């Protein structure tokens, strides 16, 4: 019980931080002229990339949004029912639904005043991104509801998928970068609160250690070491994104389209999204490598048994 209480408090703290991020995004990018101007420059910067790249980003947004959300929800429901953790599955799916509802409510309630003359001028508010909120909610729900022994492998996959999807949203011109980060923050808030509630109320929650399964027994230790190093994964993906964007730069683009601003926006979104997934998974717990010392949480959990 002590372990679950501690995890719940850490999740609530993560949710509080994400709430602060969401509020700051609103203040800076909706209510100030410099924030709106940077958002606009980064948004227009996507045009400095080649047209096929932007078309690919649009294609990814269309094929990933609805199918990934539906398939993710089906997988969560089937996996939790199969393991007898139906309450964990219900809470995870409720988290996804609440995130989508809150994203729509916030988008309709917030107002984006036109404080400066922008290249992309629209009085309609698009913060937070409902696309990002829905996809991030499913990824976090999957990380939350899976077995701890699987989480160590699922978390890096979810983090990379989040980075790819955020890049596609910005690159396609579907959303501003602030919209994307706000959608991610909203998903983290809802997932943290609902998962903390689950940990406090239900006994069928995933434990912090987990039992070694097929993946741990059949994957080499070097591969596990890569997956268990969040900053290494995030750094490699971010570096790859920057190199790719520079390589795909459109030499005939308008000089007013700032590729650098676009790269900064994409890199920020990718890093924040990946770090959010890793921190969320780390709080819930992942199996340690045999060569690593036992953690304090594992010691407390073993002592309680």
Spatial CA neighbour of 150 closest among 210, 195, 192, 109? 210
Residue 206 CB neighbours (<10 A): 25
Position 241 scores a pLDDT of: 64
- Asked if the model's pLDDT at residue 193 lies above 90, the reply is yes
Total tally of structural domains belonging to the chain:
1
* Cα torsion through 135, 137, 74, 6, rounded to 10: 150
Domain extent, residue 175, equals 2-304
Position 5 scores a pLDDT of: 83
Residues 16-35 have pLDDT tens digits of 999 999 999 999 998 998 99
Please tell me the least confidently modeled range out of 8-22, 68-82, 140-154: 140-154
- Asked if the model's pLDDT at residue 114 lies above 90, the reply is no
Phi-psi region of 18 (alpha: psi -120 to 50; beta: other; left: phi over 0): alpha
Q: How confident is the model at residue 256 (pLDDT cuts 50, 70, 90)?
A: low
Report CA-CA distances (Å) from 245 to 40, 48, 167. Answer: 19, 9, 10
DSSP 49: B
Please tell me the least confidently modeled range out of 30-44, 211-225, 242-256: 211-225
Q: How confident is the model at residue 292 (pLDDT cuts 50, 70, 90)?
A: very low
Position 294 scores a pLDDT of: 46
Please tell me the least confidently modeled range out of 94-108, 167-181, 196-210, 256-270: 196-210
């Amino acid at each position: 019980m002590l372990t679950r209480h501690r995890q719940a408090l850490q999740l609530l703290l993560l949710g509080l931080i994400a709430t602060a991020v969401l509020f700051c995004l609103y203040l800076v990018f909706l209510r100030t002229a410099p924030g709106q101007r940077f958002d606009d420059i980064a948004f227009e910067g996507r045009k400095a990339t080649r047209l096929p790249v932007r078309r690919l980003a649009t294609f990814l947004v269309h094929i990933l949004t609805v199918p990934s959300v539906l398939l993710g929800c089906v997988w969560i429901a089937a996996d939790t029912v199969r393991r007898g953790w139906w309450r964990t599955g219900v809470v995870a799916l409720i988290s996804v639904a609440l995130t989508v509802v809150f994203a729509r409510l916030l988008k309709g309630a917030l107002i984006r005043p036109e404080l400066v003359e922008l290249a992309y001028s629209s009085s309609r508010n698009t913060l937070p991104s409902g696309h990002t909120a829905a996809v991030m909610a499913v990824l976090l729900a999957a990380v939350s509801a899976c077995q701890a022994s699987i989480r160590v492998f699922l978390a890096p996959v979810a983090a990379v998928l989040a980075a790819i999807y955020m890049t596609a949203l910005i690159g396609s011109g579907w959303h501003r970068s602030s919209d994307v980060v706000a959608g991610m923050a909203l998903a983290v808030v809802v997932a943290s609160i609902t998962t903390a509630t689950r940990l406090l109320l239900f006994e069928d929650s995933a434990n912090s250690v987990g039992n070694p399964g097929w993946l741990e027994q059949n994957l080499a230790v070097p591969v596990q070491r890569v997956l268990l190093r969040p900053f290494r994964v995030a750094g490699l993906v971010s570096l790859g994104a920057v190199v790719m964007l520079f390589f795909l730069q459109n030499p005939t683009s308008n000089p007013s389209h700032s590729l650098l601003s676009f790269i900064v926006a994409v890199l920020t979104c990718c890093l924040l999204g990946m770090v959010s997934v890793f921190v969320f998974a780390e709080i819930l717990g992942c199996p340690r490598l045999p060569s690593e010392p036992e953690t304090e949480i594992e010691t407390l959990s073993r002592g309680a048994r």
